[in-house]
Every structure is written in C-alpha cells, then in structure tokens.
A and B are shown apart, each in its own frame.
Chain A
Amino acid sequence: MESETQVTGKEQAAAEEEKPMNIMVAIDESDDSFSSLRWALDTIIKRPSQILTVVHVMEPMPRYAFPGGQVVESASKAQQDNAAKLLSRASEQCKEKSVNAKTLILEGDPKDTICSAVEEMNVNLLIVGSRGLGQIKRAFLGSVSDYCVHHAKCAVLVVRQPKRTT
C-alpha cells in the first residue's frame, strides 16, 4: 500500500487503494457501550474503506421462569423493541458523524454470539466497552468484554471511560 501522506496530515486523494476493513461495535443498554461507540466514531472510523456494523445481542428470556406463555411472549417483544431502539440510537450517533453503519440484532449469549459473529462476518476489529450491565465498580472489565478479548479471532479494542476530558 503506497502512501504519500505527509506528517502534517494532508488528506490523501481517494485514489489511494484501501482494503475494506470490517469493524464491529458491540452495544448493550449501558452508557458505557455508547461511549465506546462515540469514541470509535471520533477517533477510529476515519476512512471510507472501513465498514462499520453495530451489533446488539439479545439474551433470550428463560422460558421456564414464567408460569404463563403469554408473559414470555410479551417480554420477548419488549426485548426486540428495546433492541431496535438501542440500534436506532446507535445509528443516529453514526449519522451525526456521517458514518454509514449497518446494524444487527442477534440473539443468544452475548459473549459467544459476538465471537461467532466476528468469525462469520470476517470482522477485522471488534470494539467493546469495558463494563456494560454488570456495574460492579471494582471490576475493571466486564465479563463479555473480557471473554471477547480472550476469544475473539480478531483484534479487540476495549474502550474505557476517559478519566479526563480531552
């Protein structure tokens, strides 16, 4: 890949050949993950060759926990609505930064699902927040992020909340 970018950072003409790079950002209901999306949009997603997919994994409600079938149905529907809302919020964030992102809703155990999705979709970079829903303050790294760093077959970027304003 030939590059004539100067150190001053002059924009290179679009003629520069770029290989597509698949970037996946995992989102849950936590603010942490939306901050990580925002950070990624600000600092990482810079080239047209980067393809961004925002993914949300719904954990299926345990069907045996509820006595009646109807409760489960509506809970599941509520989950799907919630997922759609999350992803539309993520979409909005991407649009604000003029980034064209794909959204994806998956179902299953978040950590396994994310890692399988990485493999299936040939993701080159997975971006996760450091803590999601399990807001145990002393734990520096949530279980899903931890699992992904260890097991995802691609590069993994863990975004932490900045301690200072940049």
Chain B
Amino acid sequence: MKVLVAIDESEESFYALQWAVDDLLSYSPAAEENAIAAVTLLHVYPPFQPFIYPSGPGMHLVYATPVVIHSVNKAQREKAASILSRALTICTEKNVKAETLIMEGDAKDKICEMADELQVDLVVMGSRGHGAIKRAWLGSVSSYCVHNLHCNILVVKLPLGEGKPTGSK
C-alpha cells in the first residue's frame, strides 16, 4: 500500500503522522502482499514572492535583491529539511519505511498532483495546518484535498482539549 503523508510545521500534521504510523502502518502480517506500506512524506512550502509592496501613494514594486531571495530560499529549504527529518524519525522509530519529498508551490495543488503521480493508495493529513482558525473544523488544504483527490484520504484530527499528543490514547 502506497501512502503519502502531507507534512507542514503544524502540530496537527505531526499528530496525523504519528497516529498513522502507530495505528495503521507499523503492523504488517507476514507474507502478505500490499501489507507493508511504503510511505512518502511530502512537505510543500509556499513560493517566496521576491517582491515587496511598499505602502504609500505612487510607490511601485520593489524587488528583493538576489541576496535576499537566496537567503530566504535557503532558510525555507532548511526549514523543510528539518520538518521532514523530524517526520522521518517518527517513521523509523516504528520501523516504517519512508521517503521524503520537498516541493515548492501551493500545498493543496501539489499534494493532489503528487498523489496522482505517485499513484498512492492513501493520503494522510492533519485537519488544520497553517491557518489554525480555531472555529474552522477543517483547514483549507485538507478540505480541498478531501474533495479533489482521486484516492483514499485519511484526515486525522487533534483530540479536543489536548495540546500535545501523548503516548497513550
């Protein structure tokens, strides 16, 4: 079974990964085909807009210098790498084979694109990521993916009233 787990820096997405690894993926009966899950951890970061809109009348776009662009890109990539390495640790702790993938762009589009391209059987994601509006039950990326993915999707929510996932349920 091929699984794609969408990761961002939010607690929800790490909880979703931990939940999936604990409850779905770390158990494989012997000699069963499709029993062992191959996991791809995908992190999508938004593209850096290399221009700044100054306020005030009559001002035009100011483009960031190449130095700034370069350093922001570097910071983004480092951040992505650290997120994914944390995610990878969660998988390897439970002996789940996982690969990592970093992409730049709009998260919801990229997730759907990669799910199709990799022909995954299941996409796993948290319910809310960046836009953690407390009243919204389901974030925009999860909502979009639930409606547009062609494969099965698992949305994992943080239990109410719990800040951090504990070891026991």
Contacts and interface: CB of A to CB of B under 8 A. Distances in A.
B32 interface: yes
A124 interface: yes
A65 interface: no
A157 B152 contact: yes
Interface string B26-44: 1111111011100000000
Interface string A20-60: 01000000000000000001001110110000000000000
Interface residues of B, number: 42
B26 A5 contact: yes
Contacts, number: 92
Interface of B: 1, 16, 19, 22-24, 26-32, 34-36, 94-95, 97, 119, 121-122, 137-138, 143, 146-157, 159-160, 167-169
23 contacts: A3-B94, A5-B94, A6-B95, A9-B30, A9-B31, A42-B34, A43-B1, A43-B122, A46-B29, A46-B35, A124-B23, A140-B147, A140-B148, A146-B146, A149-B138, A150-B143, A155-B154, A155-B156, A158-B146, A160-B151, A160-B153, A162-B151, A166-B34
Interface of A: 1, 3, 5-7, 9-12, 19, 21, 39, 42-44, 46-47, 124-125, 140-141, 146, 149-151, 153-160, 162-164, 166
